[in-house]
Structure 1
Amino acid sequence: MQTHAGLKRTVPIDSPQFLESITMLNQRRRLALVAWRSILERPTSRADLERKYHELLSAADGMEKEGLINGEEWRKLARKAAACFDETKY
C-alpha cells in the first residue's frame, strides 16, 4: 500500500480520502503562504523591522513543522525575510 508521508495519518493513495487530504493540505499551504506574504508586504517602521523579521521566520518555522513546506522552501522564505530586513533597515 502506498501512502503520502506529509499527512498526519497514513492514507492509501488509491482512496478518496487521499485526494481530499491532499486538497486540504494544499489549501492550508496556500493560505499559510498568503499570510506569510502579507506579513512581508505590511508597511513597517524602522523600529519594528526586527520584530517583523522574527515574525516571518516564526511563520516559516510553523509551516515547516506542519509539513506545508520543506527545508529548501523554508530557506527561500528565510532569505526573502533577511533581504527585506537588510534593504529597509538603513
Structure 2
Amino acid sequence: MSDDRKERALSNWRKLLEEPEMQLDAEGLYFMLLELAESLERDGVITHAEWRRLTREASVILTRTEEGEERGA
C-alpha cells in the first residue's frame, strides 16, 4: 500500500468528518464514517489500530452532537 494512497484516503475521511458535503444528521454521518473506515481497513489502506482510532473519532463527534441537542432541548 502506497503512503500516498493512504494519505489521500485519510485526508478524505477527515474532510468528511470535519466538513460533510451532504446534509446528514449526526447519526447518518457517523455510520457513513464507520463504513468508510471499515472499507479502508478491509482494502489494506489502514491498519486495525488506525481503524480503531477513526471509529473513536467518529464516536466523539456523534456524542458531542447528541449532547448539544440534549442541552438545546
Identity %: 36
Structure 1 residue 60 and structure 2 residue 64: aligned? no
Distance in 2 separating the partners of 1:48 and 1:65: 26
Distance in 2 separating the partners of 1:66 and 1:58: 12
Unpaired runs of 5+ residues, structure 2, are none
Kindly provide the CA deviation profile for residues 12-57 of structure 1, in whole angstroms up to 9, marking residues without a partner as x: xxxxxxxxxx5xx211111110010011102586x61111001110
How does 1:36-51 map onto structure 2 within 5 Å?
A: 36-42=13-19, 48-51=25-28
Distance in 2 separating the partners of 1:67 and 1:81: 20
How does 1:11-90 map onto structure 2 within 5 Å?
A: 25-42=2-19, 48-89=25-66, 90=69
Unpaired runs of 5+ residues, structure 1, are 1-21
The RMSD of aligned alpha carbons is 1.8
Distance in 2 separating the partners of 1:72 and 1:31: 18
Which portions of structure 1, spanning 4 or more consecutive aligned residues, are displaced by more than 2 angstroms?
none
Scaled by the length of structure 2, what TM-score is found?
Answer: 0.80
Scaled by the length of structure 1, what TM-score is found?
Answer: 0.66
Highest relative contact order (Cα 8 Å, sep 6+), 1 or 2? 2
Structure of higher CA gyration radius: 1
